[in-house]
Structure 1
């Protein structure tokens, strides 16, 4: 027990030194490790043990997980590998008519944060700004999070720099910048609540020749950002904390009303809509077609080659073109 306490103390001290903005923004413990298997696993175990965790970050992740058990590893100094925990009423988290939006809120919060960071950097390509302002974005708050200005040649979602690929990926200029894994944990001392854990992985300074696939990208390939990877991680994490808190509070206050606003917003930044896609399901089956609609419950409608439509709620959906 003493050894574990020493590890936690060292992780908290490390976070205070290297993620000061995140510590200031968080409502709960912030821990930064040198290396862990999975930040989501650490967060889940600590919350299940009764600790009030807000953020778990690591320099290196060796056994990270994505949807459908995909892996996500990271090397020190190259990636943003952070899990965020926030408590919501169990009735909201388990309501299938609205709980699909919780994953979308995590993605939108990541866009909010990236907007707030990269809009102060210099575009590594011709466009100096971040992405088209395609829908009503996050409500103004004290942290000043909001939209970047549109690119001069942006005339629709295909030209927007930062978007979401349904249901859990963050895209930049049509390539995967990162992903999100959402999990629920039931705190032992609060039967009416659920802790949501959002593990967010972003390629920050991964060299082009080290990207895992040709469809992946890294933030440094699109923007020239000031500061170290530590600085960038701290800035993004602090803004995600603020965005999650604001967005979740709005959602919990009026889930169905806020879902209507989220639907309009997410449609405007959804890379998947209108593209040929292939959905991979947990039973090993696949579905090819066109993503034609994002629905009221955050599900996706796909129309296959025969004109049949299918509503998809849980799948890994790849964009084919």
Structure 2
């Protein structure tokens, strides 16, 4: 594979205050969080993008390490500062949905490349039953008091089968048999994210309120979620495992699971260690 990297400058249109492409970094999320924690936070506007094709110290949920060969993966952080926008500031509790907004954008991006992508609750994107993206959000309280979110996404793009980190992972190269232009993938991801974010902001962060498309964010997530309807194992911090059937996702973004006795359980992303559908990795 030739594996070209990202262009040093990409035009994302007027929707983003800053678009920064770096040759390499330890972690785009860590870099963005550091910026928002400093006196330069206001320079990032309402929406910005920080991306690289060479991230060397990436982390996922529960501080799991994530690395990939240079130019094989797209590592992007969206900097979301709702208080810097011209409209009404989003309620703090609505910021929990920003992770899902990025996941929805990733699914739409991959479907644009003819891949049947879906969301695995709470923060992964699959093609078939294998992971192609992971999403990680971090809340930042800026020095001025504003609450912002940095959402990082790592997408396996031009990665050969032998380079995949685990057997349950996949990449666009493995699935399509050809390289994709990283600039095109990033541009598509950013365009989809901005569109979904603006729609969400237009209804003041209410995931159950339809936007101008006539569809609410909750239903957008539901239509892309492959977890619902599957038998799942939910691993909890006390080392217990709950088994049941994933029934739905509610208006708080929590997964509803019915166990073998018919009891309903509700889980937020922070409640679990990990969640495995029966078909995961098959």
Q: Where does 1:1-321 land on structure 2 (aligned, <5 Å)?
A: 17-22=7-12, 24-49=13-38, 50-51=40-41, 52-53=43-44, 54-89=48-83, 92-95=90-93, 98-116=94-112, 118=113, 129-130=114-115, 161-189=116-144, 191=145, 193-223=146-176, 228=181, 230-252=182-204, 254=206, 256-258=208-210, 261-314=216-269, 315=272, 316-321=274-279
The separation in 2 between residues aligned to 1:27 and 1:38, in whole angstroms, is 20
The separation in 2 between residues aligned to 1:45 and 1:175, in whole angstroms, is 32
Taking structure 1 as reference, are residues 91 and 286 closer, same or farther at Cα in structure 2, changes over 3 Å only? farther
Taking structure 1 as reference, are residues 177 and 185 closer, same or farther at Cα in structure 2, changes over 3 Å only? same
Do the aligned partners of 2:208 and 2:216 also contact (CA within 8 Å) in 1?
A: no
Do the aligned partners of 1:300 and 1:313 also contact (CA within 8 Å) in 2?
A: yes
- Which stretches in structure 2 are left out of the alignment for 5+ residues? none
Taking structure 1 as reference, are residues 310 and 255 closer, same or farther at Cα in structure 2, changes over 3 Å only? closer
The separation in 2 between residues aligned to 1:33 and 1:222, in whole angstroms, is 27
TM-score (norm. length: structure 2):
0.81
- Which stretches in structure 1 are left out of the alignment for 5+ residues? 1-13, 119-128, 131-160
SS at match of 2:223: helix
Taking structure 1 as reference, are residues 106 and 245 closer, same or farther at Cα in structure 2, changes over 3 Å only? same
Q: Which has the higher contact order (CA 8 A, sep 6+)?
A: 1
The separation in 2 between residues aligned to 1:94 and 1:110, in whole angstroms, is 24
Cα offsets for 1:116-170 (capped at 9, x unmatched): 4x1xxxxxxxxxx45xxxxxxxxxxxxxxxxxxxxxxxxxxxxxx1110111111
SS at match of 1:57: strand
Do the aligned partners of 2:158 and 2:171 also contact (CA within 8 Å) in 1?
A: yes
The separation in 2 between residues aligned to 1:226 and 1:55, in whole angstroms, is 23
The separation in 1 between residues aligned to 2:223 and 2:234, in whole angstroms, is 21
Taking structure 1 as reference, are residues 265 and 26 closer, same or farther at Cα in structure 2, changes over 3 Å only? closer
Cα offsets for 1:208-264 (capped at 9, x unmatched): 121122221101223366763x33344334324533542342342655424982222
Q: Higher helix proportion, which one? A: 1
RMSD over equivalenced CA pairs, Å:
2.7
Post-superposition offset of 1:99: 4.4
The separation in 2 between residues aligned to 1:176 and 1:167, in whole angstroms, is 13
TM-score (norm. length: structure 1):
0.72
Taking structure 1 as reference, are residues 178 and 226 closer, same or farther at Cα in structure 2, changes over 3 Å only? closer
Q: How many residues align?
A: 260
